[in-house]
Chains A and B, each alone.
Chain A
Amino acid sequence: MDKTILVDELLPIFKDGLTIMIGGFMGVGTSAKLVAALMESNVKDITLIVSDTATPEKGVGPLIVNSRVRKLIVSHIGTNPETGKQMIAGDIEVELVPQGTLAERIRSGGSGLGGILTPTGVGTSVAEGKEIIRVDGRDYLLETPLRADVALLKAKKADKSGNLVYNRSARNFNPIMALAADLVIAEVDEIVEIGEIDPEDVVTTGILVDKILV
């Protein structure tokens, strides 16, 4: 099955109010083409799950600047002043999550778990309203799973079945998000025939990837 898709075919998929996960760290490993397609589709009221909001120009920054996001689940917003401004003005709801906890919540959402127990955030404001569970004398926070309607990934290379290989530090959140969304779309720099990627080198199996944009 050929999973390749054109930008125009993507646009009807994007609808107001979707929960979307986007890979990347400071914009590295974020699909610029898929973010641009989201912009072009004019969707709004997105719930966005992402490591950080990069800068106003990079990564998911343009989605913030153009007020497409209603709720943000994120670990860092300090490098994009627009996020903080909208948050203080009450225009965007921001749930700040420690980065390791964010990764584990996405993992649990993608792997059929009811959440994870982490010591991160015990004794801080992150613990507010959360159940504390004591295991072998240590306190852990119960952190709940995260899933999305759509995950937008960026990889270096795909074969036509959707097997993905990443590039250097651009891997980050992409492989985890591939497990945790109903529809997974990956932008890749290069697409090759099935069999050209050694199974030993596949990082994200094609069974998780629905659409590929070159």
Chain B
Amino acid sequence: MVESSNNVKGIIAKRVAREMNDGDVINLGIGIPTLVPNYLPKDVNVILQSENGFIGLGPLSEVDPDLVNAGGQPTGINPGGAFFDSLFSFQLIRGGHVDVTVLGGLEVDACGNLANWVIPGKMVAGMGGAMDLVTGAKKVIVAMEHCSKKGSSKILEECRLPLTGKGVVDLIVTELAVFSVTDEGLVLEEIQEGVNLETVLDKTEAKFKIR
């Protein structure tokens, strides 16, 4: 079955939402991670941190050119939020005051290495705040499509692209499966609904254990 791209993104975001606990301070990367709040259960209220300088990121009510999210898009701030400068923002991040960060990935590997900021010779985006986030957040979740557009596995035995962080990833959520990163490598925690183990084995380059 071929899922539409939006559907795939929704499946990933919905599963990531289940990792959130009431009261968690969360930082969401651009792309699929920004969809996660749409799927939070009613009794789970999280506080979103935006690395460009505030806590309490909320829905857009009125466009203010001076209020944007970390993707530069207009956004809102919830009652109880706070603004601060970039220094303090990254003190929160590096200092372990952010419970969970959810990021996209180009490649993840069995050691929990993540690559998502550069493709040599092709794309140089820059790491932005990603290296600080994966270093400082208590839990790092990679939310990404299982395979690249060309169909090759993004979950590798060893990353080939330059790293964003070494041994930093805790959980990988794709439209096919959920893996945790342990001292003994990847562990398949779950298979998404309607997916079978053969598909996961076929689409995953890295070796993994099955829980």
Interface residues of A (CB under 8 A from B): 25-29, 51-52, 54, 74-79, 84, 87-88, 94, 96, 98-101, 103-104, 106-107, 118-126, 156, 166-176, 203
Contacts and interface: CB of A to CB of B under 8 A. Distances in A.
B101 interface: no
A25 B54 contact: no
Interface of B: 50-54, 64-68, 70-72, 77, 83-87, 89-90, 93-94, 123-132, 135-136, 162-167
Given A78-B125, A99-B51, 5 more contacts: A26-B72, A51-B86, A54-B72, A101-B131, A120-B135
B127 A123 contact: no
A171 B84 contact: yes
A169 B50 contact: yes
Contacts of A172: 52-53, 85-86
Contacts of A156: 66
A168 B67 CA distance: 6
A98 B131 contact: yes
A103 B86 contact: yes
Given A100-B93, A103-B86, A123-B166, A169 B129 contact: no
Contacts of B85: 103, 171-176, 203
Given A26-B72, A76-B126, A169-B54, A101 B163 contact: no
A120 B53 CA distance: 19
Contacts of B65: 28
Nearest to B114: A124
A126 B131 contact: yes
B125 A77 contact: yes
Looking at chain A's contact residues, the main secondary structure is mixed
A24 B71 CA distance: 13
B132 A101 contact: yes
Contacts of A94: 124
B131 A121 contact: yes
Contacts of B124: 77-78, 84, 87-88, 94, 96
B166 A103 contact: no
B30 to A, nearest CB: 10
B95 to A, nearest CB: 10
B125 to A, nearest CB: 3
A137 to B, nearest CB: 15
